[in-house]
Structure 1
Amino acid sequence: MHENNSGQNKGERHLMSPGKLNRGPIEFKSRPAERQGELMAIATTNVVCAQPTMSICNGVATMTREGFRRLPLTDAGSGQLKGIITVSDIVDFMGGGDRHNLVKNKHQGNFLSAINDSLRTIMTEQVMTLQPNNNINDAIDLIVGKRHGGAPIVDDESRVIGMVTEHDLLKALFQGQSLLSVEDVMSHSPRVTNPDCSIASVAKQMIKYHFRRLPVVSDDVLFGIVTAMDIMKYIGSGEVFKRIQTGDVGEVTALPVRSIITGNLQTTTPEKSINEVAREMVQKRIGAFPVTEDARLIGMITEFDLVRTLASR
């Protein structure tokens, strides 16, 4: 049974399908064993940066082209880190939260005008960073403890020399063995949306509940999964400009999410080992799997879930 959603947007609800087993919460240790001197070995060192003066449109196009969830913004002269743009900031800008005020207020709802404003208008200035002498535990503390998907690594002069993400940590941690299965660590009764829900509505849900992805369910059947990257690619691929007639932001965010879902739907099952799922995520560069049982969606397992679990061993 689904929860009573009377008075709510029909796209905003939890999927109340616990499956056959009693899957209670799993408790994890708060800190793993020390792993010294390995951070730069797992980090991406060829980091693409942009300047805060770059337009939002060009910044999103860069992130889409490179497949990045985050883009450090650096000073043209000194190379010092000045801020960062994440895929969540773009979702926020598209109608999810406070950054959408740039569109509504400063640009009176004109999307074309707003998207040509500079990245500095929506960037995060107080960036959580790591240093090259930090260890993997420090990255785990930041990414898992503070629920950040990744962080720039900066030198003593605040210049970006690397980037470490959930995916990098997962690659470093999944080599070991764990007796846990997907059902032990997955998120239960996930919040879901439906194929006809608008981009604007989904953007609001993602920002409100701090999600980067939502399963899309139609008549209790898993239709697909919509991600923050899908929303960003809608802009970065140029598809959004095909929808513009008046320039009003409403006409580009009213599109149903079924229109922007990309990629083949891949799922996993509750009994599968987390080692196997971690290997699949690393090899396929997939950030999450919907978990199904008897063709029903019962949960979600993400890179974050796996990093948190594997790091606690």
Structure 2
Amino acid sequence: MNKSSNENASIPKKEKHVRDSYFRNTGPLNFKSRISEQPGDIMTISSNEVVTIPPTMSIIGAVRTMLDKGFRRLPVADAGTNRLEGIVTSKDVVDFLGGGTRHLIVKNRYKGNFLAAVNGNISEIMEENVVSLNVKDSLKDALDTMIKDNVGGIPVTDDDMKVKAIISEKDFVFLISGIMAGKTVKEYMSKNIVTAPPDMPIGNAAKSMIKNGFRRLPVVREDVLIGIITASDIMRFLGSGDIFEKLVTGSNDEIFRVPINTLIKKEVFFTGTETDLGEAASIMLEKNIGSLPVFENSHLKGIITERDIVRSMTE
């Protein structure tokens, strides 16, 4: 495991200028009072190089697009007009794989034929009631909406509902990174940790994520953290060629009995309870991760996520 620091955190020059224009202060910050309420400011940190997919794309095609682009979510838009029709996330894929109600599609519509199911349209598992924002909205609108609707990413559209950008928790984590927030990790970390043993089957891990509403599970052996399994890791398993070989040669159940220790990354970055949120945010950005296990006196005390950092900015 690696205890990381923010010394080498890389922030693009243009984006750093945007962040510094909001927070020109070296002391602890009151982020709530500094988040812009200016109409249209949402576009200053949103990603306008947004990738959309049509509702007719296959589920496996959407998974491979997310993996190829490194995204956890994709807006689903009409191929001709680019009007927003839905959104699909890594958690939706985990749900479909066996974690929750979306798996009923495999059982009921495809009679348990998983190979046929993954080639079905993404519209079958996408979220149709999409939370969206307008290009004229402010950063405060975006922050408040994320918290109120408990979503990690929101498509930004014009008045005709055409997708123009997407804003995510990571964009707000960027705003706080490298700045002394005056708030510690222990104040905002999630203390209700749900862990998994390394021999837990992938199917069970998927169910645990959906049941508990988490995107990640710390993997623990004899009270020692050996890795983290995320929704994206499970999605990567679905997108690999190995799963299709298993589908042809074995049963669906055999696939989901694969233990999660075959998926976890051995390198784990972590932080301490007294770490400033600004430093924790920098570690997440530098390592391109969405969470950090939190240790105190060699004991796992919690986990700090992008969602927790976003929540801190409203208080």
Structure 1 length as normaliser, TM-score? 0.86
**What is the aligned counterpart of 1:72 among 56, 72, 75?**
75
Query: Shift of residue 139 of structure 1?
Result: 0.9
- Give the aligned partner of residue 200 of structure 1: 203
Residue 128 of structure 1 and its aligned partner are, at CA, apart by 0.5
Find the aligned partners of 1:261 and 1:68 in 2 and give their Cα distance: 18
Q: CA deviation at 1:141?
A: 1.0
Within 5 A, what are the aligned runs for 1:1-313? 32=33, 35=36, 36=38, 37-174=40-177, 176-246=179-249, 248-262=251-265, 264-312=267-315
Deviation at 1:179, TM superposition (A): 2.1
Q: Is the 8 A contact 1:111 1:247 kept in 2?
A: no
Structure-2 separation of matches of 1:156 and 1:237: 39
Distance 1:166 1:105 in 2: 35
Cα distance in 1, alignment partners of residues 74 and 250 from structure 2: 26
Aligned length: 284
Q: Partner of 2:272: helix, strand, or coil?
A: coil
- Residue type at the aligned position of 2:174: K
| CA deviation map 1:243-270 (0-9, x unaligned) | 3344632121111111111362111111
| Shift, 1:284, TM fit | 2.1
Distance of 2:99 and 2:33 partners within structure 1: 35
Aligned partners of 1:110 and 1:247 also within 8 Å? no
Question: How many Å apart are 1:73 and its aligned residue?
Answer: 1.1
Report the CA distance shift for 1:34/1:261 in structure 2 as closer, same or farther (over 3 A).
Answer: closer
Alpha-carbon distance in 1 for matches of 2:86, 2:213: 20
Separation in structure 2 between the aligned mates of residue 32 and residue 208 of structure 1, nearest angstrom: 35
Amino acid at match of 2:181: S
Query: For residues 281 and 34 of structure 1, what CA distance do their matches in structure 2 show?
Result: 21
**Are 1:187 and 1:299, in contact at CA under 8 Å, matched by a contact in 2?**
yes
1:78 and 1:245 map into 2 onto residues whose CA distance is 38
Q: Structure 2 length as normaliser, TM-score? A: 0.85
C-alpha separation between the residues in 2 aligned to 1:203 and 1:215? 13
Runs of 5+ unmatched residues, structure 2: 1-29
Task: Give how far 1:38 is off.
Answer: 2.1
- Whole-Å Cα distance in 2 between the matches of residues 158 and 110 of structure 1? 36
SS in 2 for 1:223: strand
- Structure 1 residue 175, shift from structure 2 partner: 5.3
| SS of corresponding position for 2:85 | strand
CA offsets 1:177-232 (integer angstroms, 9 cap, x no match): 32222112111141111111111111111111110001111111111110000001
**Alpha-carbon distance in structure 1 between the residues aligned to 2:265 and 2:113:** 27
Q: Aligned with 2:271: secondary structure?
A: coil
Deviation of residue 122 (structure 1)?
0.7
User: Per the alignment, in what secondary structure is the counterpart of residue 310 of structure 2?
Assistant: helix
Q: Is the 8 A contact 2:32 2:313 kept in 1?
A: no
Aligned to 1:229, the other structure's residue is in SS state helix
Structure 1, unaligned stretches of length 5 or more?
1-28
Judging changes above 3 Å, is the alpha-carbon distance between structure 1 residues 175 and 276 closer, same or farther for their aligned structure 2 residues? closer
Q: 1:39 to 1:250 in 2, by over 3 A?
A: same
